[in-house]
A and B are shown apart, each in its own frame.
Chain A
Amino acid sequence: MGRYILRRLLQMIPVLIGTTFLIYAMNFALPGDPVAALGGDRPLPQEVQDQIRERYNLDDPLLVQYAKYMGNVVQGDFGESLSVRRGQDVTEIVADTWPVTVRLALVAFVFEIVIGLAAGVVAALRRGSFVDNLVRGSTILLVSLPIFVTALVLQVAVGLRFDWIPVAGTQQGAVSYLLPGIALASVSLAYLARLTRNSLMENLRADYVRTATAKGLPRSRVVGRHALRNSMIPVVTFLAFDLGVLLSGTIVTEGIFNLNGIGGIVFDAIRQQDGTVVVGIVTMFVLVYLVANLIVDVLYAALDPRIRYE
């Protein structure tokens, strides 16, 4: 097992390098001059611009820039923001903003898991019933609504109506994460419910369940111990993958709900071509996604005794 994890970790390296390079190239090789825009309507003195370009290696060829960047990254230096928070270390910016984003993502993740799983399981167990149809209908509707629409609708329909639910901002503490969390989770939640339902239904039809039932095991035990457990494999895979999706979804949600987190920063950074910040944060997103997938593969072993890794 240890060996397997090590091999997977090693395999991550080329993917990570490729991803960072792609993002880096997109940011630095594309046209545009972030330095020229620093002064707003009034340009910075040429000498100041030159100094900044030199410090950020913007005059080097792309590959040299990238090599220098990665060299620093390996030493734990992710560089400085060029425009979003000029002069501040990327690590510092992330340290500043991640609590909001992690809270948001976790609230969304909890919604997704609790509601999505419950709805999926109930629908599968009561196949064809009213509840099942309700779950299928509402999830397909949620899937069809882009997150930003769901968010706006929630603001209008819920936020404006109830005083204790803030429309935007984090000033009111934990409640502030309620609407953004639901909005962010909406599409994922719907997919998860559908996936859980399908997966569980398939397992309920499987031979081993029939056998177990025939042997006289109580249905709750059959479902709980066997069917449910086996149907968790695709569900867990999906969840791992979805963590990354939720993170990138914060770009939309944080903007609409005015939360001051990583999503908002990365959005501003993209717009202002603040390459170091974009590369740093997107790399982090990718890393979360890769690690989550690794953990899932390891979990397979725990969930499915048939799978053994060498």
Chain B
Amino acid sequence: MSDPRAGREVEVEVDVDGTPEAGQEATAEGAGLWSEAWRDLRRNPLFVLPVLVIALFTVVAFFPQWFTDLGPRSCDLARSADPPQAGHWLGFDRQGCDLYARTVFSTRASLLIALIVTVSAFVIAVILGSVAGYVGRWVDTLAARLADIVFGIPLIVGALVVLNVVADRGLLQVSGALLLFTWPPMFRLMRSTVLSVRETEYVQAARALGASNLRIIVRHVVPNALAPVIAYATVLMGVIISAEATITFLGAGLQLPALSWGVLLSTPPRTELLNTPHLLFPAVPVALTVLSFVLAGDALRDALDPKLR
């Protein structure tokens, strides 16, 4: 639900503050921008800390067994919803499984979905956005209208409708449904940045020298327009983690016995949640990862925005 907002926020600042000039400066020194940004970021705790957190979760996702001796399915109904205790410091879920072990083993699915959606949306946005922005004319009109149409449909509603009829809701199906409704903001961002880059002097120069469109797009336009899109993509990772949890909470996401943070939060009946609030714990890693991605994305955006330098 928080989805397109993040996009809008970035976009607002690009569009409304008259950022067209911002892109122009960026193009002047493509590589310089990145190395300068990196120098800033290295020293910014609001970037370094989130990145460390993300790195930690990535390790958990790949090697969950390093973090717990218990399997995700060593459960005993007799310990159902038992509160935290020695050796089981998050307590047990309703099936009598160790909640910490379940949470650890849920990490992979939650992060993977976010990664699949973000990378795909990024690819779509970069290709479609640069073609639409650079070529213009009917290609642009068509792509922009399509984005308008999809953008109008709220993410939750759209994803629910699609996933509602999918029988085997695995990683790919859930990612696909989320992707369908999350690419427009990034596409718009890419397109508007390309529009401004297109008018820069050296792209004009390249064109005058007779470079082909494709070459100009690939060599000059895309690299110079990428910065804000990458920053947005980082934020999108967080947005998707949150959206996956929500979709699953509404009963249309991953399904047991597959595990994700959303699955853990969605299975206990709500009245039971009120009695045994420790079952809400899996919300903590959700918040932590989302927070990290949003912070890292913000830091990236600031570092890559020449206007703020």
Give the B-binding residues of A (Cβ under 8 A): 14-15, 18-19, 22-23, 26-27, 30-32, 140-141, 143-149, 152-153, 155-156, 160, 167, 187-188, 191, 194-195, 198-199, 202, 233-234, 237-238, 241-242, 244-245, 247-249, 251-252, 255-256, 266-267, 270-271, 273, 278, 282, 285-286, 289-290
B107 at the interface (CB under 8 A from A): no
**Top-9 shortest CB links A-B:** A248-B154, A18-B149, A144-B291, A144-B290, A286-B152, A234-B12, A30-B165, A149-B283, A144-B287
Interchain CB contact under 8 A, A160 and B4: no
A154 vs B12: C-alpha distance when bound (angstroms) = 31
Chain B residues with CB under 8 A of A251: 156-157, 160, 250
Known contacts A32-B165, A241-B5, A270-B161; decide if A14 and B145 are in contact (CB<8 Å).
Answer: yes
Q: How many residues of B contact A (CB 8 A)?
A: 50
- B41 CB within 8 Å of chain A: no
Chain B: CB-nearest residue to A159: B274
List B residues 139-193 near A (Cβ within 8 Å): 145-146, 148-150, 152-158, 160-162, 164-165
Give bound CA distance, A286 to B277, whole Å: 37
Chain B residues with CB under 8 Å of A19's CB are 149, 152-153
Does B294 contact A144, Cβ atoms closer than 8 Å?
yes
Task: Name 29 interchain pairs, CB-CB below 8 A, sorted by A.
Answer: A15-B148, A26-B161, A27-B161, A30-B164, A30-B165, A140-B291, A144-B242, A144-B287, A144-B290, A144-B294, A145-B286, A146-B249, A146-B286, A147-B246, A148-B245, A152-B280, A160-B274, A191-B5, A233-B16, A234-B12, A245-B4, A245-B5, A245-B154, A248-B157, A249-B156, A252-B250, A255-B250, A267-B160, A273-B164
Residue of A32, A148, A156 near B246 (CB, 8 A) is A148
* B161 contacts A278, C-beta separation under 8 Å: yes
In the bound complex, do residue B1 and residue A147 qualify as a contact, i.e. CB atoms below 8 Å apart? yes
- Residues of chain B lying within 8 A (CB to CB) of residue A270: 157, 160-161, 164
Chain A nearest Cβ from B166, distance in angstroms: 9
| B12 neighbours in A (Cβ, 8 Å) | 195, 234, 237-238
Q: Which of B274-299 contact A (CB under 8 A)?
A: 274, 277, 280, 283, 286-288, 290-291, 294-295
Q: Is the CB of B164 within 8 A of A285?
A: no
Taking a contact as CB atoms under 8 Å apart, the answer to whether B165 and A31 are in contact is: yes
| Contact call B157/A156, Cβ cutoff below 8 A | no
Contacts of B249 in A (CB 8 A): 146, 148, 252
Q: A152-B280, A234-B13, A273-B164 are in contact. Are A143 and B2 (CB under 8 A)?
A: yes
Residues of chain B within 8 A (CB-CB) of A255 are 250
Decide if B8 is an interface residue (CB 8 Å cutoff). yes
B9 within 8 A of A: yes
Say yes or no: A26 contacts B162, CB within 8 Å: yes
A273 touches B165 (CB 8 A): yes
- Check if B246 sits within 8 Å of A247, measured CB to CB: no
Taking CB atoms, residues of chain B closer than 8 Å to A242 are: 5
A187 to B3, CA, bound (A): 10
Q: Answer yes or no: B270 CB below 8 A from chain A CBs.
A: yes
Closest Cβ–Cβ distance, residue A137 to chain B (whole Å)? 10
In the complex, the answer to whether B9 meets A238 with C-beta atoms within 8 Å is yes
Chain A residue, CB-CB nearest to B149? A18
> Does chain A have a CB within 8 A of B17?
yes
> B245, A146: Cβ atoms under 8 Å?
yes
| Contact B161 A23, beta carbon cutoff 8 Å | yes
Q: Is the interface of A mostly helix, strand, loop or mixed?
A: helix
What is the CA–CA distance of A142 and B149 in the complex, to the nearest angstrom?
29
Q: Once the chains bind, are A252 and B152 in contact (CB under 8 Å)?
A: no
Docked pose: A26 CA to B181 CA in angstroms: 13
A187–B16 touching, CB < 8 Å:
no
- B263 interface residue (CB < 8 Å to A): no
Known: A23-B161, A267-B250. A152 touches B16 (CB 8 A): no
Q: Find out whether the CB atom of A140 lies under 8 angstroms from the CB atom of B294.
A: yes
Q: B164's contact among A143, A248, A271, by CB below 8 Å, is which? A: A271
Given contacts A152-B280, A160-B274, A282-B154, 7 further A-B contacts (CB under 8 A): A23-B161, A32-B164, A140-B291, A144-B294, A147-B2, A156-B280, A251-B160
The residues of A that contact B145 with a CB separation of less than 8 Å are 14-15, 18
B238 at the interface (CB under 8 A from A): yes
Which residues from chain B contact A31 at a C-beta distance below 8 Å?
165
Residues of B within 8 A of A156 (CB): 273-274, 277, 280
Interface flag for B265 (CB, 8 Å)? yes
Contacts of B270 in A (CB 8 A): 152, 256
Which of B149, B165, B277 neighbours the largest number of chain A CB atoms within 10 Å of its CB? B149
Instruction: Report which of A153, A256, A273, A286 forms a contact with B153, defined as CB distance below 8 A.
Output: A286
Q: Taking the nearest CB of chain A, how far is it from the CB of B148, in angstroms?
A: 5
Given A26-B161, A141-B287, A148-B246, do A188 and B152 touch, yes or no (CB 8 Å)? Answer: no
Nearest B residue (CB) for A248: B154
Q: Which residue of chain B has its CB nearest to the CB of A242?
A: B5
Q: Are B154 and A247 in contact (CB under 8 A)?
A: yes
B273 touches A152 (CB 8 A): yes
Known pairs A27-B161, A251-B157, A270-B160; A146 contacts B1 (CB<8 A) = yes
How close is A165's CB to chain B, nearest CB, in angstroms? 14
Is there contact, CB below 8 Å, between B157 and A285? yes
Residues of A within 8 A of B17 (CB): 199, 202, 234
Min CB distance A236 to B, Å, is 10
